[in-house]
Amino acid sequence: MHGQESPENLPLPPVTPDGAGHPYAVFQNRDFRFYIVARFIASLGQQMLAYAVGWELYARTHSLLTLGLVGLAQMIPMVACTLPAGHVADSFNRKKIILTTTLLMGAASLGLMLISLLQAKVFWIYLCLIVVGVARTFMWPASAAFLPSLVPRHQFTRAVTFNSGTFQLSSIAGPMLGGAVITFASSFFEHPAAAVYALTVLAALVCFTLILLIGRDHKVEKRQPISFKSLAVGFKFVFENKIILGTITLDMFAVLLGGATALLPAYAKDILKTGPGGLGLLSAAMPIGAVVCMFWLAHRPQLQKAGRAMLWSVAIFGLATIAFGFSQWLWFSFVMLAVCGGVDNVSVVVRQTLVQILTPDEKRGRVSAVNSLFIGTSNQLGEFESGTVAYLFGPVIGNTNATGAIISVVSGGIGTILVVLAVAWIWPEIRKYGKLA
């Protein structure tokens, strides 16, 4: 519960007037340490998997559309399973849900390894990605709702900051490690992506063990029978809370329009003329920016004008996306993507903190599920949108893949800026929102 600590936690330093405490005090919490390390290892495996899937699909098909379909394959289960996932997170043990879904993702990674070794049809890759999408959809609300029970209330914003930063840190190491493994394995194996998938299986098993060691557990006081009314609680709460609705909507459309990550393989090969190492560098740029931002946020007082900070961060995200879209130089592209990652992390911390602190515990699973639906589908649908726009404005009308990619990224950045203006006008409460509680 909020404000309580498990007996094994070490004494915390005095709380500062702004309630934040020492920047790293939250790491004295044993359960939080296990949670963070488990999240890092699992995310590392998933980032390696994402890199390997993109590399293998583009190497086998040389099609932008196949890259876009990766997002669609993971979006479909997200849309189909979000409502029951939220209900499950509020009605069953959240720790056990995390354990089960971790094993399911490990099984999907094992399937991808076999598909790669056997060079089975691309269809089977998408089927495994659908399984990953189902597992993630059930894991996200359970994991997000589980975190507030691991730390006292005054440390929650710090916990969210490090939780987000840890994911981004794994996103730096994941693509680089994935690229290194594929490059190294290419000298010994005909199908090097299989080596990456094998490592993701191992990562899932390690994550499972660490979560199992967490002492804090989630007890359901009153299990609610499944019904449309129960399933819709999360949506009802979000739409009645203008602050949560506005911040989620802002992030959703910004990621939907401004995401360029799906086209990084095409940018690396056709525009920037670099190989797997360059692709790994570009893939790591946004996470590097986010990690730098994590430490900046951790060492400063809590945001005093969180709403305005979020709006400005998304606007800068759009501008940096436009600059990346036009770039012809690898390192300038890297810097622009790093700026995108840094300002995006500000938005993520504000949104995730608000969603959890403004939601009662008995509704956190369902509200977190809605949040993951909005943001997760925008990530996956954004990949599909980027790939489709690039395809339509590229090969379909006689342009090159490079021209299609540039049009897709630049138009998405412009759309992101327009979304910021619209959200600031529709929900003035966001502009006026002050310090995070």
Question: Which amino acid, residue 280?
Answer: G
Which of the given ranges, 103-112, 152-161, 322-331, 363-372, has the highest pLDDT on average? 103-112
Residue 8's pLDDT is what?
Answer: 34
Is the pTM higher than 0.85? The answer reads no
- pLDDT-above-90 percentage for the chain: 20
What does the pLDDT look like over 61-96, one tens digit per residue? 777 677 778 877 877 887 788 888 888 888 888 999
Say what the pLDDT of residue 109 is.
93
Q: Given a cut of 80, is residue 152 above it in pLDDT?
A: yes
Q: Which of 164-168, 324-328, 347-351, 369-373 has the highest average model confidence (pLDDT)?
A: 324-328
268 three-state secondary structure: helix
Give me the pLDDT at residue 11, please: 38
Q: How far is CA 136 from CA 11, 35, 131, 377, in A?
A: 35, 16, 9, 12
Neighbours of 17 (CB within 10 A): 6
3-state secondary structure of 130: helix
Q: What is the mean pLDDT of the chain?
A: 81
CB proximity list for 281: less than 8 A, separation 6 or greater: 176, 274, 330, 334
**pLDDT at 216 (0 to 100):** 80
Residue 2: the pLDDT is 37
What phi, psi does 7 have (nearest 5°)? Answer: -60, -30
282-300 mean pLDDT: 84
Instruction: Report the C-alpha dihedral over residues 165, 167, 172, 178, rounded to 10 degrees.
Output: 170
**Does 6 score more than 60 pLDDT?**
no
The pLDDT of residue 16 is 42
**Spatial contact of 21 and 12, defined as CB atoms under 8 Å apart:** yes
Given this model, what pLDDT does residue 206 score?
95
Is a pLDDT exceeding 50 seen at residue 3?
A: no
Q: Tell me: pLDDT of 269 over 90.
A: no
152 or 322, which is more confident: 322
Distance set, CA 113 to CA 53, 107, 123, 190 (Å): 10, 10, 14, 13
Domain ranges within the chain, ordered by starting residue:
25-432
pLDDT digits (tens, 9 = 90+) for 202-214: 999 999 999 999 9
Which residue from 120, 67, 125, 77 is spatially nearest to 101, judged by alpha carbons? 77
How would CATH label the architecture of 25-432?
Up-down Bundle (1.20)
Q: How many C-alpha atoms does 267 have within 13 Å on its Cβ side?
A: 31
What residue type is 215 in one-letter code? G
Residue 229: its pLDDT value, please?
66
Residues in contact with 231: Cβ distance below 8 Å, sequence separation at least 6, in sequence order: 83, 84, 86, 87, 366
* CB within 8 Å of 422: residues ≥ 6 apart: none
Q: What is the pLDDT of residue 58?
A: 79
> What is residue 226's predicted lDDT score, i.e. its pLDDT?
61
User: What distances in angstroms separate CA 42 from CA 200, 255, 288, one per listed residue?
Assistant: 8, 23, 18
Residue 397's contacts (CB-CB under 8 Å, 6 or more residues apart) are: none
Average pLDDT over residues 116-144: 88
- Torsion (CA) 285, 50, 145, 248 in degrees, nearest 10: 60
Q: What pLDDT, on the 0 to 100 scale, is given for residue 317?
A: 92
**What does the radius of gyration of the chain's CA atoms come to, in whole angstroms?**
21
Question: Which residues are CB-neighbours of 311 under 8 A, at least 6 positions away?
Answer: 250, 420, 423, 424, 430, 431
pLDDT in the model for residue 316: 93
pLDDT at residue 104, as a whole number = 95
Which H or E run includes 195? helix 193-212
Quote the percentage of the chain above a pLDDT of 70.
90
- What is the reported pLDDT for 13? 38
CB 352 within 8 A of CB 160: yes
Using CA of residue 131, residue 136, residue 141, residue 145, what is the dihedral sign?
positive
Tokens at 205, concatenated: 């098993």
Return the structure tokens found at 233.
Answer: 């609680």
pLDDT digit string, tens, across residues 338-382: 999 898 888 888 888 887 777 877 788 888 888 877 776 677 677
pLDDT at 116 > cutoff 80: yes
Would you list the DSSP string of 369-396? HHHHHHHHHHHHHHHHHHHHHHHHTTGG
DSSP code for 300: S
In this predicted model, what pLDDT tens digit does every residue of 12-70 receive, in sequence order?
334 444 444 577 888 888 899 999 999 999 999 988 998 888 888 877 877 767 777 88
- Give the whole-angstrom CA distance, residue 5 versus residue 35: 15
Q: Mean pLDDT, to the nearest integer, of 412-436?
A: 86
pLDDT recorded at residue 225? 60
Q: What is the pLDDT of residues 213-267, one digit of tens each?
A: 998 876 666 666 666 666 677 778 888 888 888 888 888 888 777 767 778 888 8
